[in-house]
Chain A
């Protein structure tokens, strides 16, 4: 759904720790992967976003990436067409910081999101690789389990 709205994250970098780059390449179709069932995520930002959601759900601490080698895979302008992602990141930031004023600090919010994505990545990876099926089915089953357990913090 295209909406004209002000994207506060445009121009802000979306990054991942360098050691997680391979995972992004392997499980994202935009990395040149043709087999969808082996690479379930259409784009890297989808991987990143899902990792962030999982970390937020599991109440993981957002990692500090300021002193780590990272790889920029995109920037916030990617959210131009998806206002709900911006809103989700904002709401996550409010939940993490406990303060609504955080919405006035876009770079801070993205930093929180990057940190959460980095924290969530190992869990996401485990979901992708956990079972004997193709990645898409492993992930789907794991997410279904996670969603069914409303109180799951693991």
Chain B
């Protein structure tokens, strides 16, 4: 299908606008040159509205005004709005010579009214008319949707009408994986015709069941009847089993996706911090602080003990005690202390020999005289009394106060130094713990109240359910194989019996036909899903890499893009690492990826349909821009691009060669800020001129960027 022309009436800015498109296969590119707010997106919406109705409008048309915003109610408060699209369809007809092409031209007109009431407005349901245009005139086609949806199925709307800014719906991460997968799958299934084949298979199977029933009724052969009945039962159960398998697959996928999602939530929460773990760490730190505080308290007590210590007294009194001690020493040296002579003397008196060796024998006179002397000494000593005793005790007992007797380690200064060191060390540890506690507490404050344990519990549940569906799936698939085998056996037996019966010939023939048709359809389906999908994937990758200029052998970040069996569009980096399109690809690459998918799908499916793209080259420059443009032109059967001047920059030479049609659209409201000349149009509308990408006229001439920027600032 190719677009030939479009006419717009009172569709927002498009008051009276006509566009014609290049349909020459040599120059299949149409460029609509228009700056922002010059109707590009409006044209895109209008074309889609014409073909698909309100559903194709933003927010399905709810609160989306169609009439021009400055409509003059003096012209009437009922605004007629319409869009007319002429298009051409190429059909294939089988003939004895093979497939023959034939082109048919159609005109679709969608119209509606919006009734204005002050600031409010109401839109009536739109009407759609389709005409087949020939040399001799036009004839209406009813229903119009039959042709439109045949050529451009609604599920392919985003494939053929692409808003460059939104050209990400197949890969954007703001939608769930299943929604993306769904969109991709629907697009592929539609373009590759899988849905049609599935429906055909279903219906042919039903036909086979009906024929089998007929086999039962030809009578006479009881065996045949039994087999046919059994087959009927199997067939009835077969569909149900297929549905159960599909359902189990879907449920399995759904829970698989849920699991992935919840794992992501857990991972994110853990990156931010495990709340429970942090609480435990805080508790542990608090315990450590308590311990250190106890140690600090003990050290403090030990410190204060220094002020009741012997070492303090000794060291403080050192110069004073010297005097006292020297007095005692004097006495000691004089022999006046210790007062320990009495026991010694008394001991001597008990003996017969003195220490000096002289006799103390009481029978000896000389010895007696010695004994009396000793006794005198004892008596004299006893007279020295308590004072002597005290002094003696003091002399001997005060050794601990003598500084010179004490090792350095026990001096007060040293003891104090040890206490200081311990208190300082403990203080440092205490401070570190306090900082750690503060840090943990502020980490805890920053963590959202994610219940990680709750998530983990949910994960377990999902896992269990996923595994349950997997088990069911395996069970159903096994049963399916058994039923399939049984069916095959029964079919063989039935067909043999039918062969033996003359009446059975026709039924057998019909059964064989349905069998063969099913076989062909099934093989075609598998071929399309494996081979064709693979072709789309490969081509998408080739186009994409060509567009972004990445050479895998050079180790560029993007190595490969593919569509996997789950219909996910996946991009790989080095070492087969999966890249996240949102995070790891820049804007240009994301657009290029979506365009590559669309172009590859269209190409592989050999669909002839237009690609209408609004600002495809936004966020691109240099190599990527020209590469994307050239590739898109090559791969599309009809390419209609809405481009700003900025997008056209550096692509002029390509357009010189490839563009079959270039039209410029200008918004007069851009005067005087961005337009050089007053267009003399008061209405909010869009003006068309025939200037191509290298030309300017009075209507479309723009101020150079610097002047325009200055005007904007003013």
Q: Which residues of A contact B (CB under 8 A)?
A: 5, 8, 29, 36-37, 40-43, 45-46, 49-50, 53-54, 56-57, 82-85, 87-88, 90-95, 100-101, 103-104, 136, 139-140, 143-144, 146-148, 150
A53 touches B305 (CB 8 A): no
* CA distance in complex: A42, B323 (Å): 30
List the 3 closest A-B pairs by CB distance, nearest first.
A91-B324, A94-B324, A53-B316
Return chain A residues, CB-CB under 8 Å to B393. 5
Return chain B residues, CB-CB under 8 Å to A139. 307
A87 touches B317 (CB 8 A): no
B331 touches A57 (CB 8 A): no
A147 touches B386 (CB 8 A): no
- A90's closest neighbor in chain B, by CB? B394
A87 touches B315 (CB 8 A): no
Return chain B residues, CB-CB under 8 Å to A46. 307-308
Return chain A residues, CB-CB under 8 Å to B323. 94-95
* CA distance in complex: A101, B323 (Å): 14
A29 touches B412 (CB 8 A): no
> Is there a chain A Cβ closer than 8 Å to B497's Cβ?
no
* CA distance in complex: A144, B301 (Å): 18
> Is there a chain A Cβ closer than 8 Å to B310's Cβ?
yes
Return chain A residues, CB-CB under 8 Å to B390. 8, 90, 103-104
B397 touches A57 (CB 8 A): no
- 24 A-B residue pairings within 8 Å (CB atoms): A8-B390, A36-B300, A42-B304, A49-B313, A50-B316, A53-B316, A53-B317, A54-B316, A56-B320, A57-B317, A84-B400, A87-B397, A88-B317, A90-B394, A90-B398, A91-B317, A91-B324, A92-B320, A94-B324, A103-B391, A143-B316, A143-B412, A144-B413, A144-B416
> Is there a chain A Cβ closer than 8 Å to B200's Cβ?
no
Return chain B residues, CB-CB under 8 Å to A29. 304
CB distance from B414 to the nearest CB of A (A): 10
Q: Given A84-B400, A84-B401, answer yes or no on A36-B387 (Cβ-Cβ < 8 Å).
A: no
* CA distance in complex: A143, B91 (Å): 112
- A103's closest neighbor in chain B, by CB? B390
A50 touches B312 (CB 8 A): yes
> Is there a chain A Cβ closer than 8 Å to B57's Cβ?
no
> Is there a chain A Cβ closer than 8 Å to B446's Cβ?
no
* CA distance in complex: A150, B411 (Å): 13
- A151's closest neighbor in chain B, by CB? B319
- A85's closest neighbor in chain B, by CB? B313
A140 touches B308 (CB 8 A): no
* CA distance in complex: A46, B390 (Å): 25
> Is there a chain A Cβ closer than 8 Å to B70's Cβ?
no
Return chain A residues, CB-CB under 8 Å to B303. 36, 40, 136, 140
* CA distance in complex: A93, B301 (Å): 31
B300 touches A87 (CB 8 A): no
> Is there a chain A Cβ closer than 8 Å to B327's Cβ?
yes
CB distance from B302 to the nearest CB of A (A): 10
How does the 8 Å CB contact mask read for B269-313 relative to A, with 1 for contact and 0 for none? 000000000000000000000000000010011011111101011
B317 touches A50 (CB 8 A): no
A103 touches B394 (CB 8 A): yes
B413 touches A148 (CB 8 A): yes
Q: Given A50-B312, A53-B316, A57-B320, answer yes or no on A100-B416 (Cβ-Cβ < 8 Å).
A: no
